[in-house]
Chain A
Amino acid sequence: MASQEMEQLVRREYTQGFVTDIESDTVPPGLDESTIAFISGKKGEPEWMLEWRLDAYHQWLKMTPPSWAHLDYPPIDYQAISYYSAPKKPEDRPQSLDEVDPKLLETYEKLGIPLHERAALAGVAVDAVFDSVSVTTTFKDKLAEAGVIFCSISEAIRDYPELIKQYLGSVVPKADNYFAALNSAVFTDGSFVFVPEGVTCPMELSTYFRINAANTGQFERTLIICEKQAQVSYLEGCTAPMRDENQLHAAVVELVALEDAYIKYSTVQNWYPGDEDGKGGIYNFVTKRGDCRGDRSRISWTQVETGSAITWKYPSCVLRGKDSIGEFYSVAVTNGRQQADTGTKMIHIGEGTRSYIVSKGIAAGRSDQSYRGLVKIGPRAKGARNFTQCDSLLIGDRCGAHTFPYQEIGNATSTLEHEATTSKIGEDQLFYCQTRGISEEDAVSMIVNGFCKDVFQELPMEFAVEAEALLNVTLEGAVG
């Protein structure tokens, strides 16, 4: 493909970069015990929760940021970040969409997410987070009928303290890593899902995150628990407006699946990646981990990562239960100056555990992308199996694609297969499509979507459509 065309495509503007002008109630930048007390107080949290946060904070102070990732970014000044921002009167939360600030709804419209329509049409319950506070939660009645709890984590701390005490930090311990410790100290909001024994959640649960106020780190905390034989599909999607300063994002997601439970967690991430020089994009340091605690439980992560300047993210599964299954399906697209170091960890502890990893990376522009994965098979995980397929597609000669798979195998009855390929879009494939009358751009789009098909088919239907569209927008013209 002609290089100018590629250039042109690479220079595509971030179509979702804009700022919503809503007043915020923001604490001054900086982090100390009083900041944490402020956040905890704002949330009306009980004393034990504040102590939990402070303990995390004290551990964090002793830790250092990880340096092993294939990422290059200036040190983050944690005292320059503001750790809390909320709409002006948090106690006056809108109770329905009608009460929501029309500007916010407008924002969603611009993002291509007509919230009310979409929610109504698709029957999806939406817990929209806007500047760290739940703005609206719908379909609560229907969920309550089924016995499913779906609310913000703040509400859960207030209303279901026993569940929180039992499960929060039980999958990702407070001091698991630098960013998880930070999150544990200062998390402001996020979702809580509890599906009781034997219940299949009657609808797909979805939350749209959106980072807005400048200089505000966003620290979500999500906890999903499926009791025995329970099932849920959770959808997370994000976009963010254009900003000059880098914005830090350090979320923690914990999943717990008991016997025969199944949790499917899907993400489409399209945060602002920064401008052509890589300026102003989101820094995304996420800890996502699922614990297959019960026998025959299953946790499935599907992600489509197209945004952020820096991505550091390894959704993982701890396969404790006998015959439990962990899955990771990922499409990561980087363009411009984006850097992504992402992958998964599958920790096989129980007998007969299985894991599947399918990772598709597409690097364009001057971006750099790494797959980093760990498959660990413990001595007691007899007959464990893993299959890993990890493919990279390079578009243009200024980008990089790397693969760092770690395999640690500690018994003789397990089977692991790992395959990885790196290639570019074949000239012959493009030519073939073109001789059939397909434009070069469409041909590239077809080939790239074909490359990602194994992952897209794991996404819930409406997400799959959005993901394909997103992929096309992200690579529009970048491809050549």
Chain B
Amino acid sequence: MMLEVKDLHVTVEGSEILKGLTLTVNPGEVHAIMGPNGAGKSTLSAVIAGKDGYEVTGGSITFEGKDVLEMEIEERAQAGLLLGFQYPVEIPGVKNIYLLKAALNAQRTARGEEEIPAPEFMKLVREKLNFMQMDPSFLQRAVNEGFSGGEKKRNEILQMLVLQPKLAMLDEIDSGLDIDAMKVVAKGINSLRSEERAILLVTHYQRLLDHIEPDVVHVLVDGRIVKSGDKNLALELESRGYDWLVEGSAA
């Protein structure tokens, strides 16, 4: 198994958001976590990525047998755990090309590999840019600065394509995307699918799952996974909403 989250309890500013969440993700699988607003979906991915301000009060997260909670933020990424943000931050002045190069080298160094030679790096980046239908000028622009919502999301996927994580976590990657951008983003994500890799999609809507077919769908309500199933569960949620599950959880 790749990622194992066991009985995870997380508190933010004194209130408990995750209340005993358990989840197992194996290589090759695509998982979708769905749920109503405020259920704790974004908290889960933020905690796995190591964001400040989230207090783990119980449970564990292991990634390939290692205790994720003991790892530094960058160690998690170097180990292959990569988060695609719902709201990617703008970093004025830091060129995309620098970010990509520094991140890729950090990963390779962590694995004990040599840094990537510049020509090879450029070739790789150009190829991925092309695949994401992005203009090369974009490499010289500052990370996310002045990007449209769609460009920011594409940029998140581009980073995934370059960095080739073992587990790609995508937090509401579909929010704010029009249908064309959605298709490009979905194409990028689908290209990441492989036997060695797992993908964790966090989403509010079924829409994204029309383009990326999940192996497992989980419903997260009030800090716990209340139901898991195959892709049909997502369709059922689409037609019935979350209320029937929310009531179930309250009971």
Judge A-B direct contact (beta carbons within 8 Å). no
